[in-house]
C-alpha cells in the first residue's frame, strides 16, 4: 500500500524542483535581456567612438590604399571586434582579421552569420566613413548562463531545507494518524472499547469513533 507521507513528499519535492528549474530559466532570460540592452549600447558607443576617432585625424587615412593590419588575437567573451570602412566599402582597419564582418552601409543593428556563428553588429554611417562594432551572440548566452548558474546553489539549498522542513511537518502532523492506526490494528475483532480521540486530528477523528 502506498504511504500518504511518501505520496505528499513526492509531490512537494517535485513542485520545489520544478520551481527551481523555473527560477533558473527566468533568471537566464532576464539576465540575457539585460545583457543584450547593455551590450547593444556598448556596440553603439564603440562604433560611434571609432567613427569620431577616424574623423578627428587620428584614425586610418581614407586615401591609404595599403591593406589593413592583420590581427589574429583569440576572442574572449567580452571582446568586441571593430572595423572602419570607406563609404564605398573598402576596409581601412579591423581589430581582428580572423572575423570577416561583412560591410554594411545601413546604420543600426544587424545579425549576420560569420564563420557559422551568429554575430551582432552595430554600424555607424557618416559622410565618408563607416564604423562597425561586432560581438558574437554566443558570448552573451554563455555569460547569461554563468550568471543564472550562480543562482542554482542557494536555490538548491533552499529546496533541501524546505524538503527537510516538510518531512518534519508531515511526520509530526501524521503522528496521531499513525498512533490511531496502530491502535486499530492492535484491537481484536470483538473489542468494543472506544479508541481515544484525544490526539486525533479533526480530519480523521470520525474514522476512529
State the pLDDT at residue 103.
92
Average per-residue pLDDT for the chain: 77
Query: Please, are residues 148 and 27 in contact by the beta-carbon 8 Å criterion?
Result: yes
State the pLDDT at residue 78.
62
Instruction: Give, rounded to a whole angstrom, the gap between the first and last alpha carbons of the chain.
Output: 24
Grid cell locating 97: 582579421
Side-chain-side CA neighbours of 188 within 13 Å: the count stands at 2
Q: Is the pLDDT of residue 98 over 60?
A: yes
* Residue of 102 and 24 predicted with greater confidence: 102
**pLDDT tens digits, residue range 70-97?**
555 555 556 789 999 999 999 988 888 8
H or E element in which residue 198 lies: none
What pTM, to 2 d.p., does this model score?
A: 0.62
Dist CA 153 CA 81 (whole Å): 35
Amino acid at each position: 500500500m502506498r504511504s500518504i507521507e511518501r505520496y505528499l513528499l513526492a509531490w512537494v519535492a517535485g513542485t520545489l524542483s520544478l520551481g527551481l528549474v523555473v527560477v533558473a530559466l527566468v533568471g537566464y532570460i532576464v539576465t540575457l535581456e539585460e545583457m543584450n540592452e547593455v551590450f547593444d549600447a556598448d556596440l553603439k558607443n564603440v562604433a560611434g567612438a571609432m567613427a569620431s576617432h577616424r574623423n578627428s585625424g587620428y584614425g586610418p587615412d581614407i586615401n591609404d590604399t595599403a591593406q589593413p593590419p592583420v590581427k589574429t588575437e583569440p576572442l574572449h567573451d567580452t571582446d568586441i571586434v571593430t572595423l572602419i570602412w570607406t563609404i564605398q566599402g573598402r576596409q581601412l582597419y579591423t581589430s581582428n582579421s580572423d572575423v570577416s564582418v561583412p560591410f554594411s552601409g545601413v546604420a543600426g543593428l544587424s545579425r549576420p552569420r560569420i564563420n557559422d556563428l551568429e554575430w551582432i553588429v552595430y554600424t555607424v554611417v557618416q559622410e565618408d566613413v563607416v564604423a562597425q562594432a561586432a560581438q558574437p551572440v554566443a558570448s552573451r548566452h554563455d555569460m547569461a548562463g554563468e550568471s543564472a548558474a550562480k543562482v542554482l546553489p542557494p536555490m538548491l539549498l533552499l529546496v533541501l531545507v524546505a524538503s527537510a522542513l516538510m518531512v518534519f511537518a508531515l511526520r509530526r502532523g501524521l503522528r496521531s494518524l499513525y498512533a490511531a492506526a496502530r491502535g486499530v490494528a492492535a484491537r481484536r475483532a470483538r473489542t468494543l472499547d472506544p479508541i481515544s480521540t484525544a490526539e486525533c486530528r479533526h480530519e480523521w477523528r470520525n474514522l476512529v469513533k
